[in-house]
Structure 1
């Protein structure tokens, strides 16, 4: 007799979904879409997230601010959905909502899990560490984004047997034909007055952890001495709804540069995915000078994979999860954390001797979102099954 499909019921609760912007938000959006393939998904997320989700999941929206209101309202909606839908699995999109997943799973006799990113383990907040970390230890399944985050989870007292590493994914771009790429690159340069020299690209929020101020102060002078017509292009800015991260301003970063260097630094701010893709296609090097900070770690470094998918090499410090995101000699170069002279030398060498793009894109292809989804569904045990 032909079997019938048995779909698990799952509830995802997270503060990190679009319309918020960032790597965690992108990951959770794709996580929701991937889980939808084999489970009946409901979600609790921030205001504005329901209209951005694909048809299918029921998304309950919760105000972002103040934080206590988000936490209480999210817990209430988790209880309501648990009572009505009785999910088999309660998944937190970060450590912030791990208590919601664990508590509601106990009420309704389900399993609990969380995807942890790094900062949600090490955040320097006494209340969080006292109240939240015990819930992380009680979860049935813990997914982490890198080997570095796995080590942080073990240090926090999470049993190694519960920990599963699943790297974030990437959307693989179409490779434009040479004529289109050249035209788009020329238009991008003209729009932002970037000149004709090699472009160094920095992508991400302007947090101290990203190390951009130190890069401008300590490494960029040597690069510009070797390549006077080079330009540093900074894409990204402050995220007004982000939790716990100090933000820098462009003026603070420019203050670290000499007057002669300042015209070579261009802050573009937030851009569309299409504009970011053009920037990556016409840049020479993606610079990723992340500082090594236990209290604010770089959990993975998705932007390095995105750069590789565009054939753009990354030069970075071997810090935190960046080690998992950059394949030395294939998708870029890694230097000792804090060694600004070595970082500058690696950037100069990458401009002189670019890495071939085909192996770079092959490396990135192992991180596509479908591969990510298969791994997550396997870890959670929600692959589609057929009953006899």
Structure 2
């Protein structure tokens, strides 16, 4: 097949599982003999723009007419069999759907989060799950300032969701949901169930696998409230007060809570903060772990680090909600703790570190689960099946810019100056 992948790459300053998934799928398809081209924008490039250019970025979030023209021309010239859309925020916009319709090329889209029904895509507010916009509209998100704690910064996302909702739902032949849990929420939010297929992300088979009991408990990911970092710190303090578990906690990653994590870990023998690992360092670190911990407080749509741990034969301690309940078989491939409860997380960490024989059994079961459900062979089969479905059922749609109240052709009034649009 000839596939064109459309993706707005997230800032390189922070780890991005979504960028990794895109890169891995492109590599997988090319290795299988498919022709894959890229149509990309990079959030890193925003920093190089002039001040007026930076100010204009929020205006392009709902609709970027230049992207429509550029992509439509490329599609007409190259004639790919299918377009695979990933992230379009903030520089691409849903105008990519109109470009596909202009050129008559079917589109599929991977839904990496919940931004079809929630402006910031997290289904979380104030550190707790929130579904106030599900099935209604994005006004609550604006009222609460859900994106970066700013009402002004939330407005472009809310406008884009409102004016482009039907364009997404009619212009995409096949949506790839990355978990059944995510699909259920999106259906409740009004998305057409017949276009939503579950396609778990795959993980390349790592060269490094665990061979011994492990050396530490590992947190690997973004240092953010939604990822449960503060919850983990509270749980580990409780463990330490009770005498510890015999191994340290290693935290690898970057994000807004980095200063807090650095200060918390300073001078402690039972905690090591190691900063941001590159992909090879991540694989080696996972293979040396007693367990990987994923204590997210938001409803994760997937959980790539859980599957990476499975591939290395390492069990996981994860929050018992969202996609984790279908990724982790409680007591078999890992343990599920009560979401948001530090005492429950501490109890699970004690169990998984304090029972070496059981830990080994769970690690072996996790590896078998990976081989049957998340290997490259399985991922390739599901990708190609989705493409064939889209190619067999073109529906068009999405061929006109969104309506706007001021009579313009895609921009919105307002000047969201200084809202930190330099990264995602």
TM-score calculated relative to the size of structure 2: 0.70
Cα gap change, 1:135/1:155 in structure 2, threshold over 3 Å: closer, same or farther? farther
Residue 368 of structure 1 corresponds to 375
Which of these residues, 106, 113, 119, is aligned with residue 108 of structure 2?
113
CA distance in 2, matches of 1:133, 1:38: 35
CA contact (8 A) 1:285 1:350 kept: yes
The answer on 1:78 being equivalent to 2:68 is no
CA contact (8 A) 2:216 2:291 kept: yes
Residue 257 of structure 2 corresponds to 248
Indicate the SS of the match to 1:220. helix
Which of these residues, 270, 278, 298, is aligned with residue 284 of structure 2?
278
Residue 227 of structure 1 corresponds to 244
How far has the Cα of 1:307 moved from its partner?
0.9
1:140-289 correspondence to structure 2 within 5 Å: 140-175=173-208, 199-217=216-234, 219-224=235-240, 225-227=242-244, 229-238=246-255, 247-249=256-258, 251-253=259-261, 262-289=268-295
Name which of structure 1's ranges 108-117 and 224-233 shifts more when overlaid on structure 2. 224-233
CA distance in 2, matches of 1:263, 1:75: 55
CA distance in 2, matches of 1:73, 1:368: 38
Indicate the SS of the match to 1:120. coil
Residue 42 of structure 1 corresponds to 37
CA distance in 2, matches of 1:151, 1:91: 22
Q: Deviations over 1:137-175 (max 9, x none)?
A: 122211110112212321332210000110011122235
How far has the Cα of 1:42 moved from its partner?
2.3
Cα gap change, 1:161/1:383 in structure 2, threshold over 3 Å: closer, same or farther? closer
Uncovered stretches (5+) of structure 1, i.e. residues with no partner: 1-6, 49-61, 186-197, 239-246
CA contact (8 A) 2:265 2:273 kept: no
Indicate the SS of the match to 2:292. strand
CA distance in 1, matches of 2:210, 2:75: 50
Count of aligned positions? 333
CA distance in 2, matches of 1:222, 1:114: 43
The answer on 1:123 being equivalent to 2:109 is no
Cα gap change, 1:176/1:95 in structure 2, threshold over 3 Å: closer, same or farther? closer
Residue 98 of structure 2 corresponds to 103
CA distance in 2, matches of 1:268, 1:276: 11
Residue 92 of structure 1 corresponds to 85
CA contact (8 A) 1:204 1:235 kept: yes
CA contact (8 A) 1:90 1:101 kept: no
How far has the Cα of 1:95 moved from its partner?
5.9
Q: Deviations over 1:199-223 (max 9, x none)?
A: 1110001121101112212x11232
The answer on 1:324 being equivalent to 2:332 is no
Cα gap change, 1:228/1:325 in structure 2, threshold over 3 Å: closer, same or farther? closer
CA distance in 2, matches of 1:223, 1:173: 31
How far has the Cα of 1:78 moved from its partner?
1.1
CA distance in 2, matches of 1:109, 1:299: 31
CA contact (8 A) 2:201 2:374 kept: yes
Cα gap change, 1:115/1:263 in structure 2, threshold over 3 Å: closer, same or farther? same
CA distance in 2, matches of 1:330, 1:101: 43
CA contact (8 A) 1:168 1:369 kept: no
CA contact (8 A) 2:210 2:312 kept: no
How far has the Cα of 1:265 moved from its partner?
2.4
Indicate the SS of the match to 2:167. helix
CA contact (8 A) 2:221 2:252 kept: yes
CA distance in 1, matches of 2:209, 2:300: 31
CA contact (8 A) 2:217 2:249 kept: yes
CA distance in 2, matches of 1:39, 1:258: 47
Indicate the SS of the match to 1:135. helix
How far has the Cα of 1:298 moved from its partner?
1.7
Cα gap change, 1:11/1:281 in structure 2, threshold over 3 Å: closer, same or farther? closer
TM-score calculated relative to the size of structure 1: 0.76
CA distance in 1, matches of 2:288, 2:100: 48
Q: Deviations over 1:248-268 (max 9, x none)?
A: 22x32356x5988x4432221
Indicate the SS of the match to 1:200. strand
The answer on 1:291 being equivalent to 2:297 is yes
